Structure 1
């Protein structure tokens, strides 16, 4: 049987740990504090779909079913909350990609999947998350550079791991997988940010494949001959 407190600690994102540390109730119940913080972040994510990032803390407390002072026990400001939401989106997206790629057999194919899949969340009518990430990215980066760098790193880590493996297997050629993964991540982010607000072509898959072709060439690989 898995110990419930150990399980919560293992799966807790960094923002939830910070929120728990700010709360005076942490000595009484760390698990309860983390659950409350996650309830608040989930409420903020729902409000983003209907109100955008302009929602008020009063709207948030009503949506989360908590008193306003409970919110401030966990988050010093609304910007601290938006940082948590941002981290939640990016870490969750990276975890989804890693899980979806689990059965892909080789590192080059996994890299292609990671890079070409990034634009799929721009399909359809629900664009609140991509637009929030784009609109808030640099503003939050100026306020919380360390935390934002850590949140963005989750995707770069996926790229670096597969790029390093592919280089070791002589499938690709990267002299510095960490640096190349960072540059590829910045390129992917730029394309993502552009299409979060710009009119998106009917087939985002085609753009994803073009993005992959560019990165593959930079990694020293070649597209298969047709």
Structure 2
């Protein structure tokens, strides 16, 4: 950041404006989530601003268009879910057990019923459409879950419980695999309960990360990072 940008950030008026903008964006995104639960993505911008209680120019001040809004919705949903997964697993001292809990939680959400069932199908349909148009933005939108996976893999490696080849790359692959299975069963009929599919996926990921396959030791030697 330049000195001018740093100075502007310290300005009380700039901070108040930024705070107001953040509140407005959150109101708009919350309204979009309510409309998505009611009618999917078929809502119009006119319906959105009415639901949010803001002027049309306020919407366009913060979002270039509906696609940018939908990306914000997806990013908020993924971020909120990652935070919730981390909180739900905080009672587990073992990072491998926490990682398993996270993966099972993702696929467990496929069993949602009622309005919540809109979530998996909305994320799946819009993720791939938007990814073709805005690949970098969508990669950023889904990064919070990959970051959560990376934290657990790193902790498990440091504890000698997993032997990843490369933490960041392995975490990205695990996150994409989990996401792909999630996307598939958001629409396809599952041949078995979601928890069975999740357990099989977890076993596959655990083996790929060099985890304990039942013999009481990692599937491959743990490569500890060099001491500094």
TM norm structure 1: 0.83
> Residue 20 of structure 1 corresponds to which residue in structure 2?
none
Distance in 2, Cα, partners of 1:192 & 1:170:
29
Q: How many residues align?
A: 201
CA distances 1:183-218 after superposition (whole Å, capped 9, x unpaired): 111110110001111124663111111110110111
Distance in 2, Cα, partners of 1:88 & 1:30:
18
* Deviates most, 174-183 or 194-203: 194-203
Structure 2 residue 218 is the aligned partner of structure 1 residue 218: no
Structure 2 residue 184 is the aligned partner of structure 1 residue 194: yes
> Residue 58 of structure 1 corresponds to which residue in structure 2?
46
Give runs of aligned pairs for residues 91-170 of structure 1, distance below 5 A. 91-125=79-113, 126-170=116-160
Alignment RMSD (CA, Å): 1.8
> Residue 5 of structure 2 corresponds to which residue in structure 1?
none
CA distances 1:125-151 after superposition (whole Å, capped 9, x unpaired): 231111111001122123322221122
Distance in 2, Cα, partners of 1:36 & 1:201:
44
Given that residues 79 and 144 in structure 2 are in contact (C-alpha distance below 8 angstroms), is that contact kept between their aligned partners in structure 1? yes
* Aligned-partner SS, 1:118: helix
* Aligned-partner SS, 2:200: helix
CA distances 1:5-64 after superposition (whole Å, capped 9, x unpaired): xxxxxxxxxxxxxxxxxxxx9686221221111111000000001111111101111111
> Residue 174 of structure 1 corresponds to which residue in structure 2?
164
Kindly state the Cα deviation for residue 118 of structure 1 after the two structures are TM-superposed.
0.8
Greater C-alpha Rg:
2
Given that residues 108 and 162 in structure 1 are in contact (C-alpha distance below 8 angstroms), is that contact kept between their aligned partners in structure 2? yes
TM norm structure 2: 0.82
> 4+ runs of 1 displaced by more than 4 Å?
25-28
Q: 2:199 aligns with which of 191, 209, 212?
A: 209
Q: Structure 2: state its 5+ residue gaps.
A: 1-12, 216-228
Distance in 2, Cα, partners of 1:182 & 1:131:
22
